[in-house]
Every structure is written in structure tokens, then in C-alpha cells.
Amino acid sequence: MALVDYSSSDSASEAGSPPAKRRKEDTDGSVLAGSASGAGAGGQKGTRHSPPASSTTKETIGGTLTLPPLPAEFHDLYASTVRNATADNPALHQGRKRTVPHIVGNWPSHVYVEWHPSADQHSLLTALLDEIAPLLGTRELTSLLTSDLNAPLPLHISLSRPLSLTTAQKDAFLSALTSSLSSATGEFSLSPRGLGFFKSPDSDRAFLVLRVACPAASSQGDTSTTGSNPQLRTLLNKCNDVAVRFGHPPLYQAHATELVDDAFHVSIGWAFGLPEEEECLRAYGLLKTPQFRGIRKWQIDVLGVKAKIGNVVTHIPLNNSSKKRRNSITEDGVYE
């Protein structure tokens, strides 16, 4: 059946009817009703009609239609990549191998803080990788900033090792984690403090990372006892307690008196094998150059923690009742 049906008398009636009067459109977009002489039906002059205003008018800036930002929950709906095979095949993943072998019926899981860099931040980080890549000799630097479809990827600060939860564990694990983290600390902010290469203990990959610290804690002076990441350390301890309770190893195993603040980082790229010391030092020095010096002034707001179990991501908000005024500082040194 056609989308629009016309009766058989339509063509005949149109043939016998007088030509339709043309409507003139004024230069301002309004319409003059009537004939070319300006007289409408009944000899009255044409009247000016403004086009009706749309009830869904969108704001335009510089002639470009602007759309409202996506809600934060949207990113959690599409946080998983497409599975190309049920078995571990490094050829499908740039030579990478699973650090935790997949067990049918288990749920790969991870706890982390997520960061979505702005468009300007993403562009600057991309430029930073472009500058570092030639400094690594024959090693190929793979970016973690962009997907295979050239879309910006969220970055993260790990609060757990890669976990493999059984079906019987996953709901209880999430419940225990939510209860432990929701009142652990208030919202806070972080800033990049320097670059580093981190050799994964579970693989032969070396990650290029941005080390992070809480500017409010660093601005108080001596951090030898309190550390530069008190909030992240609190969250890590809570996550490790829950992981150990369910029979999984903790992240950043250390003695009770040893601070792990310098271990917190955002991975932005990786290469096979740790670069030579001279190559690392040249890469670290880029944050002192005028082009990239401003990266240390960025603010990463931590409003919650993400728990990814299988392909389901749960946002666990932090208690914002104790949120304090956020400060920013500038540090000249870089991590070496």
C-alpha cells in the first residue's frame, strides 16, 4: 500500500481549477498572503504572517547548532568492547595477553576512578604522545586515548587488580564494595604531577602514565606522614579489604608503614618493554616545556568510583557532605 493515497478525482479537479496563487516571501522570512498585486481573497491586501516559533528551539552559537551534553550515565552503558572470540587470541589485541585467564562462568571485574578529559585536554595529551613516540627508538607507543573508531576514550585510576568473580560472588561483592566506599571519603580533586613508565608485573608491557596527587594535600607542606593522596589511599584500602575478603589479591601490596601515594596514575599509552633510562628522561622533560607545562594545572574531579563487573558498570557516589574547597598548585619537578 502506498504511503499516500490520492483519489481518482484529484487530477480532474486540479485540471479544472484555477492556478494556485503564489505566496511571496518577504526578505525577513515572513509570508505575504495574497496575489502578486497584494490583493487577497475579497480584495483585501495581503497580511504579513510571521513563521510560527518552534517549541523545541535549540540554541545556536556562531551559526552552529549546540546540543545538550550527554548524561554521565550514558558512558556506563557502552563501556565494553565487542568480543571477537571466546578464546584468548593476542593477535586480536595488539599482541596483548590476558593477565587473568578467562574462566567460563566467571565475571571479569575492575574497580577504578574514571576521568573523561575535555576536548582540549584530549588534544594536548595526543600531542604529548606524538612528541614522546619518536623518543622511544624502535619501540612502538600505542595510545590509550582513542578507540579504533577514533573516538576519545575515558581514562582511569585503578583501585583494584583485574578480578575474576564467580556468579555467586558478584552481587555480594558489589554490595560490600558499595557499603564500604559510599562513606569512605568525600568528593575531592586530583592534578597530574608528572610522567612515568610503569612496568606491569603481570605482562611485558610498560605503561606511560600521568602520576596524580591531591593538590589540597600537597599544598599543606610536609606529606611524609600524611602522603600526597590521602583520599585515594583510603579508597584503595577499602577496595583491597573487600577484594581480600572474597579471596582476591590486593592492589599495590606494601607494608603497613609504606605509603603507596606515588603508585596512583592514569595510563595514557603503552609499549612492549621498558624504555632505556635516557629515553625515559627525555620523555619526562616534556612536561617542563611551555607547550605541556599547563597539564600539571589540570583538575580531575573525583565524584565517585566505578565498579565494572562483566559488561555492567555501577557508579558508586562518594559522600559529598565533607567536600572541601578545591585548590590547585603548580609544581616544577617531574617524576623520574
Cα 220 to Cα 191, 260, 327, distances in angstroms = 15, 19, 11
CA–CA distance, 236 with 230 (Å, rounded to integer): 10
Cβ distance 135 to 279 under 8 Å?
yes
Supply φ then ψ for residue 220, to 5 degrees.
-85, 0
Maximal CA-CA distance, the chain: 98
Q: At 170, is the secondary structure helix, strand, or coil?
A: helix
Out of 49, 75, 265, 315, the active site residue is 265
For the question of residue 156 being annotated catalytic, the response is: yes
At 177 the three-state DSSP class reads: helix
Do 172 and 307 contact (CB within 8 A), yes or no?
A: no
Burial 254-263 (b: 16+ CB within 10 A, else e): eeeeebbbbb
Q: Apex CA 4: angle with CA 31 and CA 55, to 5°?
A: 40
Catalytic entry in 110, 156, 248, 315: 156
In Å, what is the CA distance from 196 to each residue of 262, 282, 300?
10, 11, 18
The neighbour count for residue 90, using CB atoms within 10 Å, is 10
49 is catalytic: no
What does the alpha-carbon distance between residue 263 and residue 270 come to, in Å, rounded to a whole number? 17
Please report, in angstroms and rounded to a whole number, the separation of the first and last CA atoms in the chain: 73
List active site positions.
156, 265
